[in-house]
Amino acid sequence: MSESPNAAATERRHLTAAQRNAVAELLRVSPVADELGRRFAKAGYELHLVGGSVRDALLGRLGDDLDFATDARPDDTLRVIKGWAEATWETGREFGTIGAQRHGIRLEITTFRAEAYDGVTRNPVVQYGDSLLDDLRRRDFTVNAMAVSVPEHVFTDPYGGLDDLAARRIRTPGTPQESFGDDPLRMLRAARFAAQLRFAVDPDVRAAMEAMATDLDRITAERIRDEFTKLMCGADPVAGLRLLVDTGLAQRFLPELPALKLAIDEHAQHKDVYEHTLTVVNNAVRLEGDGGTDFVLRLAALMHDIGKPATKVVDRAGRVSFHHHEVVGARMTKHRMKELRYPKDVTSEVVKLVALHLRFYGYGRGEWTDSAVRRYVADAGDLLARLHKLTRSDCTTRNRRKAAQLASDYDALEERIARIAADEDLARVRPDLDGNAIMELLGVPPGPIVGRAWRHLKEMRLEHGPLDRDEAEAELLRWARDEGVI
């Protein structure tokens, strides 16, 4: 149960010296906060730095986006910042938010709110409030229910957010039932903070998530998608994913994930496909390197085996197989990402990685020709580096000898790709004759015949490597005679 507000909690003495320095540093590097505060005070309004801005300052995670709360209404806010802000936008006006920019800092200024859901619709009904304490009470979690007034720098923490921050704990200002009833997306946000900040979820909050999981059905796919993407891009996505599955939230929008608990992984029978999948996600995170967070790679790691439950077969000897699960999984991934309204380009990349993640297996048996290597590279295209990482991440066996052999095989494949690439442009495998040359040699206009000829020459390129001009022309003429084109 959350604590009631008390006056002592609002006093600045509750901040340690390090925490006071963190807030002071945020305001020092962002003098626009005090400038803005003085403008609001002169106009007779309050202004407070709130939410994630205060939380991140206390965590030492300074950013260029600042969130403010005020008793001024949106029209009043626009009048106060007129002539001061270098740019303004009103895309959030229906929720009481006015956006502005000053010296490269993005500001969001929101009227005190007391929003709530009516239990049926998917969007909040916005009601303006009149006090900071009421505004803080309607926020999602206590660590986001702290404020620093500007320009006075008075710290306000009526719900123990500072203690929860120190304990790395996720609680709600009021009861979890009240908070999640106002906005069910907050349940997904709790899992996101577990992933992003590595915070533990309070038992009361967790119990409410389990009891109210079906309320997530009231939220739009777009809002769920955005929150889930942030979770997947967190420092520890597996912590968030476990919470989604254990509370039943995943079943509401990503049922393929809990379904993995029903299958046993044929590569490592000491754990099920669900545990294997979470291990692959962790492996993928470790392999990202210095390039930053790679959402496409992480989601492909999460989805790579979702086709296994549908393809599971147990033979008479008790051996488990999942033939063609990569094909089924790619189809399921496309459907799920479409349901969550992911952009087509992102969906296409994840689906291709899922479809290709098994292609490597068999290489170590010595069955791959140079042609197979070219096709592997050509099919992966711009995703080749990610496919390397996904394939390596998929090795989760505890058998050290087997793991070492798989790693050695993949090292050999990468070296072989590099050797062939030194002689051929594997990154852009194209026919040795372009469309214009094909039309000129065959004497045909643009149309299906040109496309068929182009595809044939590409197959020859993949099978035999580069052909010189005379060889390519001879092959094209041979194909045209066999096809009755000439």
Q: Which residue has the tokens 């969550």?
A: 340
Q: Based on the number of CB atoms within 10 Å of its own CB, is 87 exposed (0-12), middle (13-18) or buried (19 or more)?
A: exposed
CA dihedral 12, 190, 57, 97 (to 10 degrees): -90
207 vs 176: CA distance, rounded Å: 9
Q: Which residue has the tokens 């042609």?
A: 371
148 vs 48: CA distance, rounded Å: 5
| CB-CB contact of 137 with 174 (8 Å) | yes
β-partners of residue 33 are none
| CB-CB contact of 92 with 99 (8 Å) | yes
Taking only the tens place, the pLDDT of each residue in 110-141 is 999 875 555 555 555 678 888 999 999 989 99
DSSP letters, 2-49, are PPPP-GGGGSGGGS-HHHHHHHHHHHHH-THHHHHHHHHHHTT--EEE
CA dihedral 26, 28, 30, 33 (to 10 degrees): 90
Q: What average pLDDT score do residues 207-211 get?
A: 98
What are the counts of helices (DSSP H) followed by strands (DSSP E) for the chain?
Answer: 24, 11
CA–CA distances in Å: residue 176 to residues 180, 239, 243: 6, 20, 16
Q: 175-254, which class in CATH?
A: mainly alpha
Phi-psi region of 326 (alpha: psi -120 to 50; beta: other; left: phi over 0): alpha
75 vs 46: CA distance, rounded Å: 15
Beta strands in 51-115 (DSSP E): 65-70, 87-89, 97-102, 105-111
161 vs 350: CA distance, rounded Å: 38
Closest listed residue to residue 328, CA positions, set 354, 347, 349, 346: 354
End-to-end alpha carbon distance in the chain: 83
Q: Which residue has the tokens 């349940």?
A: 187
Residue 430 confidence (pLDDT) above 70: no
Position 404, amino acid = A
Taking only the tens place, the pLDDT of each residue in 308-358 is 998 888 777 777 778 889 999 999 999 999 999 999 999 999 999 999 998
| CB-CB contact of 182 with 115 (8 Å) | yes
Residue 271 confidence (pLDDT) above 70: no
Q: How big is the CA angle at 289 (ends 413 and 392), to the nearest 5 degrees?
A: 35
- Give the gyration radius of the chain's Cα atoms: 29
Measured in degrees and rounded to the nearest 5, phi and psi for residue 245 equal -70, -45
- Please tell me which residue, 317 or 387, carries the higher pLDDT value: 387
126 vs 184: CA distance, rounded Å: 15
Residue 369 confidence (pLDDT) above 80: no
**pLDDT at res. 19:** 66
β-partners of residue 111 are 70
Residue 428 confidence (pLDDT) above 90: no
Least confident of 16-25, 80-89, 125-134, 336-345: 16-25
Residue 59 confidence (pLDDT) above 90: no
Phi-psi region of 184 (alpha: psi -120 to 50; beta: other; left: phi over 0): alpha
Mean pLDDT computed over every residue of the chain = 86
CATH architecture of 7-167: 2-Layer Sandwich (3.30)
Share above pLDDT 90 across residues of the chain, in percent, rounded to a whole number:
54
